[in-house]
């Protein structure tokens, strides 16, 4: 069990605000370009989620061997990437597709989200891991995303 310092909480909140504004900005841009098209909204959420999963995988893996990177996990990981990516928007979009009778599209979006998200997180973690990370000195404590 771990508790956060006040400083970590402030970093999470600031990162959360930034990640939320970036996600909202991307959604607003998609609406401006396409006129509130559901497919565009789906693409924006999916792209943000997959990119965020890759970045978080990289960050957390690199943080295990790099104290400087670990320092950024609360703000960038828990706050920024945690808020850039979203589960609720995905669930709302799946419900919208089901309500519209587009069962295959809903299944496709669900499968694409889970498969590409897991693949991106795994690829990010692999890229963030340093080849010489194992067994070279103490690992810094990583606050976790």
User: Using CB under 8 A, which of the segments 10-18, 35-43, 131-139 binds other proteins?
Assistant: 10-18
Q: 3-class DSSP state for residue 78?
A: helix
In which residue are the tokens 């795994």 written? 122
- By CB under 8 A, is residue 53 in contact with other proteins? yes
Can you tell me the distance from the alpha carbon of 26 to that of 136, in angstroms, rounded to the nearest whole number? 41
**Distance separating the N- and C-terminal Cα atoms of the chain:** 14
In which residue are the tokens 């609406």 written? 31
Question: For residues 39 and 107, which CB has a smaller minimum distance to other proteins in the complex?
Answer: 107
φ, ψ of residue 134 to 5 degrees: the values are -75, 125
- Smallest gap from Cβ 43 to other proteins, in A, equals 14
| Residues in region 103-142 near other proteins by CB under 8 A | 106, 110, 113-114, 117-118, 120-122, 125
Which one-letter DSSP state was computed for residue 133? -
Residues that bind other proteins (CB under 8 A): 1-4, 8-9, 12-21, 23-24, 27, 49, 52-53, 55-57, 60, 74, 78-79, 81-92, 94-95, 98-99, 106, 110, 113-114, 117-118, 120-122, 125, 143-145
């Amino acid at each position: 069990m771990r508790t956060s310092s006040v400083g970590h909480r402030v970093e999470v909140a600031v990162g959360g605000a930034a990640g939320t504004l970036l996600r909202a900005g991307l959604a607003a841009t998609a609406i401006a370009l396409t006129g509130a098209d559901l497919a565009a909204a789906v693409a924006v959420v999916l792209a943000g989620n997959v990119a965020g999963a890759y970045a978080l995988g990289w960050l957390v893996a690199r943080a295990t061997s790099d104290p400087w990177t670990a320092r950024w996990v609360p703000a960038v990981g828990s706050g920024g990437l945690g808020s850039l990516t979203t589960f609720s928007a995905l669930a709302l979009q799946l419900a919208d597709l089901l309500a519209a009778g587009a069962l295959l599209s809903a299944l496709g979006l669900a499968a694409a989200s889970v498969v590409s998200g897991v693949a991106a997180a795994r690829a990010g973690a692999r890229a963030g891991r340093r080849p010489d990370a194992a067994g070279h000195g103490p690992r810094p404590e990583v606050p976790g995303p």
